[in-house]
Structure 1
Amino acid sequence: MTNKRRADLILLAVALCFVASAFALHLYPEVWWTRLLFYMTEAGLVGGLADWYAVTALFRHPLGIPGKHTAIVPRNRVKLIDGVVTMVETQLLPPSKLKEKLEEASIMNTVIEWLDDRFPRGTLAKQGWKWMAGLLKQLDFSKTSGDWDERLKLLLANKDITPYAGKALNAILEHGKIHVWLDRIVEEIALRTDTPATKELILQLLRNEQEKQLSQGNAFTRFLKKAASIFAEESDALNLDDAAEVLSRDLVQFVNDLRSHDHELRLLLIEMLHRLAADLGQRPDLTATVESWKQEVLERISFAPSIEALLASLNTLPEDDTAANEDNNSGLAGLRNWVGSFIEDYWEQFKQDESKKAWIERYIKLFLNKVIDTEHRLIGQIVRDTLDAFTEKRLISFIEDKVGEDLSRIRINGSLVGAGIGALLYGLLHGIYEPILQALGR
């Protein structure tokens, strides 16, 4: 039973008791308890009615009779809303209190706990994969690749890549990757060296050099050179085919020698690369050269086809394990497993990295503090818009739902306290005041 129902029943009971006590007083006017009962029920009825009228007048006209001081809430709707908005903005949720609570909160730990609870180990990667696959299916690859191409070019154009080039070269040199790269270059050269096309190219170079030498000098000198050349060729003293064959064999042998990591040319090249890595970012001339090369490359190339092809290939990624197992031969299952393993491992490392969590926590709190400073008024605006949207009936129901029980308790107390005061007045009048008057002979 609600307090409102209870208050109505108590008021009705007090009214019935008042009628009964009045009738009893009429029948037995000299009996003390009838007068006590009348005093109590009368005061209780007055108190209950007064509180009923006061509580009812807050929201509507009692008995439907309009009055100047009734239906207080509807008549003061604007003032009430203004007061609530002001109270929320300045008392309940002021910027200082919001910032204080925000500073006390551990945002990252809360987010981590929520994610771990929602996505146990093994499911976070699957969900991330599903999100990524779903997002890719919604992209316009042509437009997206064009946008990314422009942004990537703009980023590279405005960024000095020389220090990064130096760091990347240093990383390759320090981790021994340089020999892997040189081995690949040597193997590629070796494949192209021992071929008929290479021998023909060497022979053509020798013939071009011969023609160049024979064409230099005056007419007599050129005549002597050509005569000597013809004589040498006829006597087989000069054989360009044999020379090209020898040079080709020497070139193949030289390339084979380059396979050794201790070859002096490789060691010299590595030393030069070390110097270049140290100089990149330090020498203005190198920086200018790299910058010029970068701008020239950016003008000539487009990343859009590569980006579009990459997105198109990723668009075929399976969203679940079933699809991945059906497509094992394509390598997508391996990619899926690698990405999943990477996400899980990185997530575990991230949870243990206090410095990284603290950095993100500070960034989030800094961002939220700025939001509080610039958008705090939205809290009051939301409250105002919400209350403005209430009809009169709904507003009254909303307030009664929040404080109606307490107001009904006041009505109950009005009847009960009134009855108690009636008993107290009866005691004062008949227990103290009348005996004093009788003692004074009045």
Structure 2
Amino acid sequence: MPSNDPTAAGSRGDAAKLAALRRTKLIATGALCLCVALFAVSRLLQPRYPWLGFVAAFAEAATIGGLADWYAVVALFKRPLGLPIPHTAIIPANQNRIADNLGRFIEINFLAPAPVREKLQEVDFAALVADWLSDPHRAEGLSRFVARLVPQTLAAIDRSGLRDFVAERMLAQLDRVQIAPLAAELLSAFTEDRRHQKLFDQLTRVIGGFLADEDALAAMREKIRNELPSLFNLFRADAYLLKKIVASASGLLEEMRADPEHPLRHEFDRFVHKFIEDLRTSKAYARRAEAMKRDFLARPELKSLTGDVWESLRRLIEQDAAAPDSKIREHLTGMFVEVGRNLARDEAIRADMNEGFVVALSSFVESQKSGVSGFIADQVKRWDLGQLTHLMEINIGRDLQYIRFNGMLIGGMAGLVLYVGELLFLDR
């Protein structure tokens, strides 16, 4: 079965590169030895076969070119034949300089603002977020993660004093609210379409209930008896008057309930509208309302109430977040899924989000790129010299070996041209 280990895959790749490098080196060395042998044989047989002078000239120059390029390639990685020749083992001797230059090269050419922005603009970050959130399973996992943070978040709010700060800010904002105009607007909304007449109907029912209560009637009769002369009480005038008062009042209440246009209803309308207008314009009402508001906000019970409400809300949230069938998690999951679906449908929002991602990430890269180049340079500087040389040699050494082939070929051609020039111009 093939291995999925990336380290093993990298080792196999390095082994293949090293084998290819060794084969190329062997072929290049063999070609150089062939040039030497060809030169020797051509020189020995040249007196008998003059045309071998061309072969000897080519082989001689090819040998020189091959040796020169062998020296150049070897000098990059080590000292040729182990000799302390100046300006050899160039890569090991300049490890720090190569590391710094490599870091700066990557910073300037790969992490420049324009290329980074251009590359980031190719990625649809918003679509990735939308696809991720639209998956109910992932959204549920995110909601569980958020729910686990709830206790720590609430505890942090308590420790930070944010709760008291918010309460103070709310009270400060309430203190700025003008109660009288606000009450006038609320009452105006309530009285639209004469909805306040329902309150009038309720008042008539309350009064009717009072008139039907035996204890209330007894108290009224006692009051009437005390106000009448004693002579009238002998003839039970108090009972007669009470009966008439109750009958008249009940009849009036029945009339008002039955007639939507009863004059007393219109009088109630005028009273309510005048009261609303006074609330809206009267300075005296405004002063009394502000005094009541400040007295209410200054009461210590209010601060205690806000603390109790917060503690109750906190316990409720913590208990629900820890419950197996948490409503908070359920609503969060639904919210995340809906956000993902809406985001997938709205191209304008996705475009704005992508632009925000590009700006944020490009700014981050710009602020951190010097650190990236420094990190790369530090890593290269920490590499073992043998490891560094080996790594570069197996990756580019095979291509460098072809320089030896080119050197032999170009050198041989140059030697052949010079030999022909010698025959044409110097042997006359």
Greater displacement, 401-410 / 286-295: 286-295
Tell me the equivalent position of 2:426.
437
Does the residue aligned with 1:70 lie in a helix, a strand or coil?
coil
Tell me the equivalent position of 2:68.
47
Contact 2:134/2:336 (8 A) holds in 1: no
Q: Please tell me whether residue 309 in structure 1 is matched to residue 312 in structure 2.
A: yes
Identity %: 12
> How many residue pairs align between the two structures?
385
Q: CA deviation at 1:10?
A: 3.2
The correspondence of residues 267-346 of structure 1 with structure 2, limited to 5 A, is: 292=294, 295-296=297-298, 300-301=302-303, 302-317=305-320, 323-324=324-325, 332=326, 338-346=331-339
Tell me the equivalent position of 2:87.
69
Q: CA deviation at 1:384?
A: 0.9
Q: CA deviation at 1:42?
A: 0.7
Structure 2: how far apart are the matches of 1:268 and 1:361? 60
Question: Deviation per CA, 1:95-129, whole angstroms, max 9, x where unpaired?
Answer: 4655x548x7277xx23321343344433542343
Tell me the equivalent position of 1:24.
41
Tell me the equivalent position of 2:341.
348
Q: Please tell me whether residue 13 in structure 1 is matched to residue 30 in structure 2.
A: yes
Contact 2:69/2:407 (8 A) holds in 1: yes
Structure 1: how far apart are the matches of 2:114 and 2:290? 51
Structure 2 gap ranges (5+): 1-15
Cα distance, 1:411–1:346 mapped onto 2, change above 3 Å: closer
Contact 1:85/1:383 (8 A) holds in 2: yes
Structure 2: how far apart are the matches of 1:28 and 1:182? 134
Structure 2: how far apart are the matches of 1:381 and 1:361? 25
Structure 2: how far apart are the matches of 1:276 and 1:346? 48
Q: TM-score, normalised by structure 1?
A: 0.60
Structure 2: how far apart are the matches of 1:340 and 1:26? 89
Structure 2: how far apart are the matches of 1:48 and 1:28? 28
Structure 1: how far apart are the matches of 2:389 and 2:267? 89
- Give the counterpart of 1:134 among 121, 143, 148: 148
Does the residue aligned with 1:93 lie in a helix, a strand or coil?
coil
Cα distance, 1:427–1:153 mapped onto 2, change above 3 Å: same
Amino acid at match of 1:412: Y
Tell me the equivalent position of 1:219.
none
Cα distance, 1:11–1:163 mapped onto 2, change above 3 Å: farther
Q: CA deviation at 1:399?
A: 8.1
Q: TM-score, normalised by structure 2?
A: 0.61
Structure 1: how far apart are the matches of 2:377 and 2:287? 68
Contact 1:145/1:308 (8 A) holds in 2: no
Contact 2:107/2:369 (8 A) holds in 1: yes
Structure 2: how far apart are the matches of 1:310 and 1:90? 54
Tell me the equivalent position of 1:379.
369
Contact 2:126/2:350 (8 A) holds in 1: no
Structure 2: how far apart are the matches of 1:233 and 1:34? 162
Amino acid at match of 1:149: R
Tell me the equivalent position of 1:393.
383
Tell me the equivalent position of 2:411.
422
The correspondence of residues 196-275 of structure 1 with structure 2, limited to 5 A, is: none
Tell me the equivalent position of 1:38.
59
Structure 1: how far apart are the matches of 2:99 and 2:278? 72
Q: CA deviation at 1:388?
A: 1.8
Q: CA deviation at 1:378?
A: 2.9
Contact 1:21/1:41 (8 A) holds in 2: no
Does the residue aligned with 1:303 lie in a helix, a strand or coil?
helix
Contact 2:57/2:412 (8 A) holds in 1: yes
The correspondence of residues 147-186 of structure 1 with structure 2, limited to 5 A, is: 147-157=161-171, 159=173, 162=177, 173=189
Structure 2: how far apart are the matches of 1:81 and 1:48? 26
Q: Please tell me whether residue 409 in structure 1 is matched to residue 399 in structure 2.
A: yes
Tell me the equivalent position of 1:221.
none
Structure 1: how far apart are the matches of 2:142 and 2:106? 39
Cα distance, 1:67–1:56 mapped onto 2, change above 3 Å: same
Structure 1: how far apart are the matches of 2:277 and 2:350? 38
Amino acid at match of 1:70: T
Structure 1: how far apart are the matches of 2:154 and 2:291? 35
Aligned-residue RMSD, C-alpha: 6.0
- Give the counterpart of 2:77 among 31, 56, 67: 56
Structure 2: how far apart are the matches of 1:346 and 1:195? 55
Structure 2: how far apart are the matches of 1:158 and 1:429? 100
Tell me the equivalent position of 2:9.
none
Structure 2: how far apart are the matches of 1:404 and 1:182? 96
Cα distance, 1:39–1:150 mapped onto 2, change above 3 Å: same
Structure 1: how far apart are the matches of 2:280 and 2:24? 89
Structure 2: how far apart are the matches of 1:286 and 1:357? 53
Tell me the equivalent position of 2:121.
105
Question: Deviation per CA, 1:239-284, whole angstroms, max 9, x where unpaired?
Answer: 9xx89x97xx98xx89x96xx9x977997799689879999xxx99
Q: CA deviation at 1:424?
A: 1.3
Cα distance, 1:186–1:115 mapped onto 2, change above 3 Å: farther
Structure 2: how far apart are the matches of 1:429 and 1:106? 57
Structure 1: how far apart are the matches of 2:85 and 2:289? 87
Q: CA deviation at 1:391?
A: 4.8
Structure 1: how far apart are the matches of 2:233 and 2:75? 134
Q: CA deviation at 1:66?
A: 4.2
Cα distance, 1:271–1:195 mapped onto 2, change above 3 Å: closer
Cα distance, 1:20–1:106 mapped onto 2, change above 3 Å: closer
